[in-house]
Amino acid sequence: MRSIVIDGESLTFDEVLAVANGKPGEPVVSLSDSAVAKVKRAAEAVDKLLERGEIAYGITTGFGAFKDKIISREEVERLQKNIVLSHAVGVGDAFDIPTTRAIMLIRANTLARGFSGIRIETLELILECLNRGVHPIIPEKGSLGASGDLAPLAHFACVLIGEGKAEFGGVTMPGADALKAAGLSPVSLKAKEGLALTNGTTIMTAVGLLETAKAQNLADLADISGCLTLEAVNGTTAAFDERIHRLRPHPRQVECAAALRDILSGSELTRGFDPVNVQDAYTLRCIPQVHGACRDAVEYAAWLLKIELNSVTDNPLIFVDGENIEVISGGNFHGEPLALAFDYLAIALAELANIAERRIMRLTDEASNSRVLPAFLTEEGGLNSGFMIVQYTAAALCTENKVLAHPASVDTIPSSANVEDHVSMGATAAIKLRAVRRNLETVLALEAFCAAQAVDLRQKRIGAEKKLGKGTEPLFRAIRERVPFIGADEYMKDHIDSAIDIAKHFARNGEF
């Protein structure tokens, strides 16, 4: 993509990923003509309200519990600057650059819809920062998920007024300096603008979208690594028979079974009918049922995010019909839909890690794999511990995931003097989801690391080079290009890091 034109209504997953993972100006983001017209119309409506002296929340009143405090026309601009400065109380590590770029794009798209009352010059400054690489330093923590992602978005807005901090050219500096270095000038916020910049679900949407995109790829990697394990332990493909899944037609289960059959097509390392070994353990036999159910959570999150990407999520919203102007307060900033989806997805990814860890156990425990493989994947057990502790690491990550999978969305702590008395914790759900996804990525890397070792050992025992499946061969080769067969104990960390790099690359790109 060389350019993306936003209008508040048609932003796509792929466009967000292109901007998040791209370089400043690659692609260039601009506003559509229709968006410019709508944004100008709403900003003009705000000016008319001020001229009429009408009372409107967040324009001529305070915020939250101060909603009953009337602000004079002379102080409305100070009010908007104050909300940005006072709300910039985020803590913790800053979001990485891809996440920050996604935040900037999604926020701009929300404002481009033309119901927020922001001026065109303020919105265009966001896009100029994005295109020139002025990236606000946004702390991860501080959002309750209603009234949107106030604290982190305030850090984003601070840079636009020459406050806060930003990254430019790889250097973190004061926001004013970053703007100047990029040839830009800060704006002075007018009525409604501070509230429009800080109110909404942008943070949780950006984090959740990036994690969902990676989850889609990791679900594919889980299928492939599971199949490589199945080949290594002489498993059967019987349980993936289309006729079985047709009788329980959950869509993702059916799709997963078909994917497994395709991944294993051409394999010479799976077993046919064996009267003394007619079926495999659940971690192999039930891959379509488990992975398929987890894919349901991934697809639900993707479906919901496609709606949220092009939604207006600040408050209040401005509706203009000729000379009739209405400012209506609502609750589109409430992150409950996202919080529930991200908690569901975190649980699903934790399950993908759980079943992969159990497959690692089958690879390393010779009793569990019917002695097809030597204990702990080493031929001189006792003197060598082999891959014994690799399973420990996977188990530790799975236990961490079980803690992280506790839903954030079932919690709420009232705020703003009990005016904002139910919140979603959606940003917390998104950040937890990111941690679970990273752990899953590592567990799948560990499974592939073990499975490649196991395949080599099995080939050695067979005494012939048997073909891997169409889909497992690329994973095996990717591992072997960077990780050798390990004949005796040696320093393992570098090999594990190489396997993790392969999993990270696949999570981002969907290919080895």
Q: pLDDT 10s digit of each residue in the chain, 512 long?
A: 799 999 999 999 999 999 999 999 999 999 999 999 999 999 999 998 888 888 888 788 877 677 778 878 788 889 899 999 999 999 999 999 999 999 999 999 999 999 999 999 999 999 999 999 999 999 999 999 998 899 999 999 999 999 999 999 999 999 999 999 999 999 999 999 999 999 999 999 999 999 999 999 999 999 999 999 999 999 999 999 999 999 999 999 999 999 999 999 999 999 988 888 889 999 999 999 999 999 999 999 999 999 999 999 999 999 999 889 999 999 999 999 999 999 999 999 999 999 999 999 999 999 999 899 999 999 999 999 999 999 999 999 999 999 999 999 999 999 988 888 999 999 999 999 999 999 999 999 999 999 999 999 999 999 888 999 999 999 999 999 999 999 999 999 999 999 999 999 999 999 99
Half-sphere exposure of 378 (CA within 13 A, CB side): 17
Torsional class of 403: left (φ above 0), alpha (ψ -120 to 50), beta (otherwise) = alpha
Instruction: Report the distance separating Cα 292 and Cα 249, nearest Å.
Output: 11
Element (H, E) at 94: strand 91-94
Task: Label residue 27 exposed, middle or buried (CB < 10 Å: 0-12, 13-18, 19+).
Answer: middle
Q: In 3D, which of 509, 457, 462, 510 has the Cα closest to residue 486?
A: 457
pLDDT (0 to 100) of residue 50: 84
The tokens describing 496, both together, are: 């594990």
With contact defined as beta carbons under 8 Å apart, do 388 and 364 qualify?
yes
Count CB atoms within 10 A of the CB of residue 275. 5
- Out of 57, 344, 392, 491, the active site residue is 57
Q: In 3D, which of 351, 356, 365, 379 has the Cα closest to residue 229?
A: 356
Instruction: Report the distance separating Cα 419 and Cα 401, nearest Å.
Output: 34
pLDDT (0 to 100) of residue 105: 98
Compute the Cα dihedral for 194, 114, 142, 439 and give only its sign: negative
What is the location of CATH 1.10.275.10 in the chain?
A: 3-200
pLDDT (0 to 100) of residue 146: 92
Question: Is 392 tagged catalytic?
Answer: no
Distances (CA, A) of 220 to 145, 260, 394: 31, 10, 19
Is-cis flag, bond preceding 316, omega within 30? yes
Torsional class of 64: left (φ above 0), alpha (ψ -120 to 50), beta (otherwise) = left
The tokens describing 250, both together, are: 């959950």
What is the location of CATH 1.20.200.10 in the chain?
A: 208-228+292-509
Provide CB contacts within 8 A for 51, sequence distance 6+: none
pLDDT (0 to 100) of residue 66: 76
pLDDT (0 to 100) of residue 418: 86
CATH of 208-228+292-509, one of 2.20.25.90, 1.10.10.10, 1.20.200.10, 1.10.530.10: 1.20.200.10
Instruction: Report the distance separating Cα 104 and Cα 375, nearest Å.
Output: 51
Instruction: Report the distance separating Cα 2 and Cα 392, nearest Å.
Output: 46
Instruction: Report the distance separating Cα 322 and Cα 255, nearest Å.
Output: 51
Strand partners, 328: 317
pLDDT (0 to 100) of residue 497: 98
With contact defined as beta carbons under 8 Å apart, do 178 and 282 qualify?
no
pLDDT (0 to 100) of residue 164: 98
**Strand locations in 196-253, DSSP E?**
none
Q: Is domain 3-200 in CATH 3.40.640.10, yes or no?
A: no
Instruction: Report the distance separating Cα 87 and Cα 63, nearest Å.
Output: 11
The tokens describing 321, both together, are: 């019909």
Q: What is the pTM of this model?
A: 0.96
Distances (CA, A) of 330 to 28, 215, 276: 33, 32, 65
Provide CB contacts within 8 A for 142, sequence distance 6+: 89, 90, 91, 92, 150, 151, 152
pLDDT (0 to 100) of residue 69: 80
Instruction: Report the distance separating Cα 456 and Cα 117, nearest Å.
Output: 64
